[in-house]
A and B are shown apart, each in its own frame.
Chain A
Amino acid sequence: MALVEGRNISKSFGGIQALSEVDFAVDAGSIVGLIGPNGAGKTTLFNTVAGAFKPTSGQVVFDGVDITGLPATAVCRMGMARTFQVCRPFGAMSCLENVMVAAINRRPGEPRAAIERLAREKLNFVGIPELEGVEARHLNVIQKKRLELARALATEPKLLLLDEVMGGLNTQEIQQAVAFIRSLRDELGLTVLWIEHVMGAVMQAAERIIVLDQGRVLMAGTPQEVVTDERVIQAYLGE
């Protein structure tokens, strides 16, 4: 069953058509990659799905509910979390506090001690427990990405939207990250929709891939189908 589904989504900014008639579906419990050349509309699609933008037309259905045009806060509370392509930590707050903000809004009545424990758990899970007291603005890019992930996980989502989490990693780190993304699904039971430029990583971790090009879905299929598709090769390599 599809956990999140886009039906005929279009989005334009002034005269620029960023998305046209995009249809897609992400099955519950799957890892789906979203790829496409620069400017294809991947992040715009994310923003439309996660409630940051209202689509010009079309529908977003999450967990059986029409969430088109709902604000980001409401979408988050329904169980969708995201990370940002350019990290947006709460710079003047400690890493622990960053994660706690997410946790207190998921569990409003919970005592402070329980919230802190939960936040530490998430920092541990993403591998930066030693940074809990450090203000987030002092982190390097990779640490910030991990922090964002911990923060997203603390909202206890069903669906996680990841926007380019592999940028800046070396080959070995990419392997670890691939294993990590798999563990999100296998251990936490999350569904993952994932924008990525590091092609090798997406091909390894995702079961299905959606290819966007110039605001349209070029194709969707298994990694094998995608890499051998003429249109995809053309979109990436040109004529």
Chain B
Amino acid sequence: MTGKQLTAVSAIILSGMCVLPLGLGIYPQHVLITSLFYVMMAASWNLLAGYTGQVSFGHAAMAGIGAYTSGILAAKAGINPWVGVCLGTVLAAILGLGLGSLCLKMGGIYLSLTTLAFSQILHIVIVNEYDVTRGTMGLQVPGLMGEYSKLHYYYIMLAAATLILVILYRMIHSNLGMNFRAVQNDETAAAAVGVKVLQMRVLAFTVASAMAGFAGAIYGHYLLLITPEIPSLDLQFYVLAMTVIGGMGSFIGPVIGAFTLNILAEKIRDYGEYHVLVYGLVALVMARFAPNGLIGIWHRLRPAKPR
């Protein structure tokens, strides 16, 4: 796609997204809002796992950092939620920088385990610091605006997701993105042609964490009640599944995955506890027949034109 075509297609999709909720009831609007939250989560996790090869299990934890930072500041100190969102983003970025640096010399399963530990520690702290976080009861937080309106939240989420996607798109298509992919493909070779491997890895970690913190903070102010469900492994693996099923390492894959899986989740709610089984089956079938995700199927049906 050329630049002009891309702009046109994006504009059409975006206008479609703007009118989409107008005729819908409150419940479908809620599903769309959560889908947009997952779009931000999956797309930013993809920057880590899909573009620099760092399979972090601490991404949901970063969303939790954002949500709880902003939520606690607003609920306990009366700070404006928008300021809180910014502070939550910054704190997630700082922790991402720290966690990324800690994992610098690690690859593969070691990095995953370290980030998993981080995620669990955070979870335990939140559950147990009852006075500050209200534990599993959940912390009531103020909304982003005076009057509660699903439609307004939808547009806020849409704007936030668009912002994240634009930043990610520009990053991936710049020199940075090319360096990221080189690091993912082969760190030794990347270093040998002058790529600052360590710097790239930490940068991806910091940016992705900031984005998760941002998404989590806004999401918390939408839910009005934040619980340890946000920084949980359930949410982490949900985001992972969305990215993998959508198509890891492709720009649009996680976006498609987030919508598909989140809407599917609503459909299979009727199965109660068995919905996990349905997920497992979907993941299994995808892994076997479409290892490159939904986007991979699309590319297979429509072979790339020679450039």
Residues on A close to B: CB < 8 A? 50-52, 71-73, 76-77, 81-82, 84, 88-93, 97, 100-102, 104-106, 108, 133, 151-152, 154-155
Contacts and interface: CB of A to CB of B under 8 A. Distances in A.
B190 interface: yes
Contact of B194 (A77, A92, A93, A133): A77
Size category of the B interface is 20 to 34
Contacts, number: 78
B175 A81 contact: no
A84 B189 contact: yes
Q: What are the 3 closest A-B residue pairs judged by CB atoms, nearest first?
A: A105-B194, A90-B185, A88-B189
A90 B197 contact: no
B307 A133 contact: yes
A194 B306 CA distance: 37
Contact of B193 (A52, A71, A76, A133): A76
Nearest to B173: A112
Interface in B257-307: 306-307
Interface in B172-186: 175, 178-179, 181-182, 184-186
Contact of B196 (A73, A90, A93): A73
Contacts of B196: 73, 105
Contacts of B184: 92
Interface string B76-107: 00000000000000000000000000000000
Interface string B3-21: 0000000000000000000
B46 to A, nearest CB: 14
Contacts of A91: 185-186
A50 B192 CA distance: 8
Contact of A93 (B182, B188, B192, B307): B182
A105 B189 CA distance: 13
A52 B192 CA distance: 8
Chain B CB within 10 Å, residue with most, of A50, A73, A106, A155? A73
A9 B190 CA distance: 25
Contacts of B178: 93, 97, 100-101, 104
Given A104-B179, A105-B179, A133-B307, A76 B185 contact: no
B193 A151 contact: yes
Interface string B204-232: 00000000000000000000000000000
